[in-house]
Amino acid sequence: MRILVRLRADADAVYNPEYHNKLRGVIWNALSGTPFYDLHDDRSVPAFCFSNIFPVKQITEGDIRHVLVSSHHEDLIRVLADRFDPGTEFNVGEMAFHVDGRSVLSPDVGETGSSGTLRTDTGVYIPLPEERWDEYGIETDANAEQIGWSPDHSLEIFLERVRENLAWKHDTICPDYLDTVSPETELFTDLAPQKTYTVDVPVTSNNTYEYTFLVTKWEFEYTVRNEDHRRWLNLLLDTGIGWRNQLGFGFVNLEDED
């Protein structure tokens, strides 16, 4: 489930592409005082994912922008729908807005046999930990515990890590619902990286530490094979693809459906 928040700009502003930490703060503040706020420091349970503020361009007072927040916690989305009343301030750093309206949405990839495209409008972060570099055939001088996937590495490594992450989300959220994602699971019929870039994002509440994330935007083609497959793809729509979804990475949109 997700909520589409319609925003109206209160002042002219420069669009900040490194909005992630500030926008995350707006969402957590809206959840303050609810049971979902307990997930703030708990990385063992997926909470939510969010889009960029779109369309992406300079902001003029009175302009309309939108943001999407998705979650497998349906009640979390309902709380946000209550908290984001029209007229509510929605300030993302220097980008000042108020809520102009909101809608709750439930996208679905479709029944068995349906085809479509999943698109990530925010970059997907796939960490490759140091202890697996030999397994992946990675040789690097990077002084780091992990590096981010890029097109320099194979697509199979990307898909393997996506399956591992989705299996963790499935087993954490709904372990008794359907079969889990296996290493042999084919999630997509085709996939294509669109853009690779870096984003600097504070990763502490007081902004004392900033991390550079190497991320990639994607388009994924799919044809739903069965109900398990449908559930996995819909789980990606709720939780995002890859890691650091609560920083807004890996947010997924459903493009079309046959």
Phi/psi-derived region of residue 250, left when phi > 0, alpha when psi is between -120 and 50, beta in every other case: left
Burial class (CB in 10 A: 0-12, 13-18, 19+), 34: middle
Q: Determine contact, residues 120/251, Cβ cutoff 8 Å.
A: yes
Q: How far, in Å, CA of 124 to CA of 41, rounded?
A: 21
Q: Which residues contact 155 (CB under 8 A, 6 or more apart)?
A: 191
As a whole number of angstroms, the longest Cα–Cα distance in the chain is 54
Identified catalytic residue from 41, 42, 152, 256: 41
42 is catalytic: no
Q: How far, in Å, CA of 258 to CA of 248, rounded?
A: 28
Is the peptide bond between 55 and the residue preceding it cis, with omega within 30 degrees of 0?
Answer: yes
Q: How far, in Å, CA of 59 to CA of 56, rounded?
A: 9
How is residue 109 written in tokens? Answer: 């990839």
Q: How far, in Å, CA of 158 to CA of 41, rounded?
A: 27
Q: Determine contact, residues 90/26, Cβ cutoff 8 Å.
A: yes
Active-site residues, by number, are 41
